[in-house]
Every structure is written in structure tokens, then in C-alpha cells.
């Protein structure tokens, strides 16, 4: 049943989602192909050009940065062994050719499309 309380909760949730997107971009991961399974959004908050862990306890199969970002994905915590280069929005619905699907942490270097000298990657 749709009530005013339900409507208020939906509006509140949408407002929080829009606020989060306005404050910090992030990376969306899911444990299943085509954005299914256990899904998680990790805010980046302007931590560009640093090696960062991205965690999804169910494993990472679908992987996508928010619009305005591009990422390099690595197999190791030192960000020295590249798994996938130049991934842009909306990302890939199936990363299994590049990442082990059972692995629940991957490492990325995030780049901002507006300020990075290689912003051509975003278009």
C-alpha cells in the first residue's frame, strides 16, 4: 500500500542518493554478472591518482566508475600489476576475463576526467 509515509521515505532516499553523488563520485561493484548479486558503491571523495582498495565481500564481477571518472584496475595492493586499463562509465558488466570472480578486493587508481591530462579517455 502506498502511503504518505512511503512517499516521504522514497523522497528522502532519493535526496540522500543525489546528495552522495553531488559530494563524492564512486565505484559500483556487484558479485554477479550484469550488475546482479551483492552490489556495493564505494565513494572515492577526490582520492585521485592513489592506489585504493575496492572491496565487495561477495566478490567483484561487475565493475563501474561513476561518470566523470576513469580507472585503472590492478591485481595487487601496490598497483603495479595491471588487470584492466582505462575503464570508464558505465563500466563492464562482466570482469571475469580480467579479475578472479571469487576475489573480494581489487585495487584501482582513479582519475578525474576534468582535471587529468589524459581526460580524452572519458570520451
pTM as predicted = 0.71
Asked whether the beta carbons of 121 and 112 are under 8 A apart, the reply is no
Q: Which residues pair with 106 in a beta bridge?
A: 54
Q: Would you identify the CATH topology of the domain 25-122?
A: Gamma-B Crystallin; domain 1 (2.60.20)
- Within 8 A by CB and 6+ apart from 11, the residues are none
Distance CA 7, CA 10 (A): 5
Domain residue limits, the chain: 25-122
pLDDT single digits (tens) 74-120? 988 999 999 888 889 999 999 888 877 677 888 898 888 777 655 45
CA distances, 24 to each of 6, 31, 114 (Å): 27, 23, 14
Amino acid at each position: 500500500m502506498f502511503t504518505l509515509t512511503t512517499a516521504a521515505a522514497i523522497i528522502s532516499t532519493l535526496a540522500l542518493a543525489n546528495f552522495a553523488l553531488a559530494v563524492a563520485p564512486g565505484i559500483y561493484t556487484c558479485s554477479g554478472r550484469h550488475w546482479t548479486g551483492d552490489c556495493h558503491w564505494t565513494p572515492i571523495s577526490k582520492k585521485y591518482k592513489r592506489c585504493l582498495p575496492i572491496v565487495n565481500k561477495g566478490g567483484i564481477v561487475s565493475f563501474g566508475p561513476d561518470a566523470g571518472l576513469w580507472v585503472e584496475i590492478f591485481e595487487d595492493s601496490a598497483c603495479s600489476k595491471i588487470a584492466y586499463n582505462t575503464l570508464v562509465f558505465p563500466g563492464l558488466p562482466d570482469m571475469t576475463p580480467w579479475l578472479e570472480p571469487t576475489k573480494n578486493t581489487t585495487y584501482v587508481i582513479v582519475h578525474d576526467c576534468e582535471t587529468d591530462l589524459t581526460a580524452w579517455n572519458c570520451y
